[in-house]
Structures are given as C-alpha cells and as structure tokens.
Amino acid sequence: MEAIQERQGAALGVLYDRYAGLVYGLALRILGHVAEAEDLTQEVFVTLWRKPSYDLHRGSVSSFLCALTRARAIERLRSQDSHQRFLKHWQPLLAADGRAPIPLEQVSLEERRQAVQEALGQLPESQRQLLELIYYQGLSQADIAQHWGIPLETVKTRARQALCKLRGSLRPLMRF
C-alpha cells in the first residue's frame, strides 16, 4: 500500500492479482450480475489507485477492499432502483401502450411529453446525448465510455448530474 501511495504502478498489479478474486466474488454476490461485478471490480482498483485512502491502523487490506466493494455495490443497487422507478414512472409517457387514450388523458400525456422534451432540451448537449443513449437506445454506461473514449467514472458522473437536473426540472410532475 505504501508503494501505491508512492504511485508505483507495479504495486497496483500485485494488489490486483492478490485481491481481484475477493473483490469480484463479493461484487458478484451483492450485484448478481457478471458484467456489473466486473465493472465494480475495476472501479474499486481504480479508486484505490486514484485515492489511496487505506489506513493500516484500521484493518487489513482485504477488509478495506471488502468494505469499499460493499459500499460501492450498495450505491449501484440504489442507483439501479432509482433508475427503475424513473423508468416505471415515465415509460408510459414516452411509449404508446396500444390503446387509444381518452381525450383528457391524451392532453395530459402530451403535456408531460412536452415537459420531458423541454427539460431534456435545457440540459448541456453532452448530458442530453448521454441520457438519450442510455434511456432511448439502451446502451450501458460502460459501452458509452468505450464508444466516446472517456473514463467510465466520467460517464457515471455526467449521467448522475443530468438526472439530477432533469429531476429538478420535472419535480412538479413527479408523484413518486
């Protein structure tokens, strides 16, 4: 860990070789999805490299990595839950359900659609494009990061910022 704090890249490789299985196994157990567990494993070690906050006096490296993995996995689960509630609430407004709405319902749906489109239009271009790729085209954040050639953390940060702005703009319409 001292070598990591001194920015010695080989040390990260040694720690990864030693603890990646532990981190991945815990992430998989919590998240239940292979790709998510792989992403989280990478995220934990990138975090360790960028912000080496391990304190020898607080426990072993394995305990530190388990705590970090657990915390990040729970954040992801909460984020996914929030994402699912968002989709559940707005999906009927963005896609036709096959039946013809009554006139009052049609007016309400159109007003909401317009409000969503206006709120999306107020976002910075990069955030708007990001949400469109995630929600309308179904791309994962990892796919977008790879396609745009930017770090996954940047994609996650932009998505979270965009959703917060969108939530603020649409708050009067939200009932959940």
Provide the CATH number for the domain around residue 108: 1.10.10.10
What's the whole-number mean pLDDT along residues 54-60?
65
Which structural domain range is residue 57 located in?
2-76
According to the model, what pLDDT value does residue 176 have? 43
Domain-located, residue 85: no
Domain-located, residue 84: no
Domain-located, residue 83: no
How is the chain classified by DSSP, letter by letter? -HHHHTT-HHHHHHHHHHHHHHHHHHHHHHH--HHHHHHHHHHHHHHHHHS----GGG--HHHHHHHHHHHHHHHHHHHHHHHHHHHHHHHHHHS--SSPPPHHHHHHHHHHHHHHHHHHHHS-HHHHHHHIIIIIS---HHHHHHHHTS-HHHHHHHHHHHHHHHHHHHGGG---
**pLDDT for residue 171 is more than 60:** yes
Domain-located, residue 108: yes
Are 46 and 105 within one domain?
no
Are 70 and 112 within one domain?
no
Residues 66-115 pLDDT 10s: 888 998 888 887 777 666 666 665 665 555 555 555 676 667 777 777 88
Specify the number of domains making up the chain: 2
Are 33 and 69 within one domain?
yes
**pLDDT for residue 23 is more than 80:** yes
Are 110 and 138 within one domain?
yes
Residues 114-123 pLDDT 10s: 888 888 888 8
Domain-located, residue 120: yes
What's the whole-number mean pLDDT along residues 32-58?
80
Are 28 and 66 within one domain?
yes
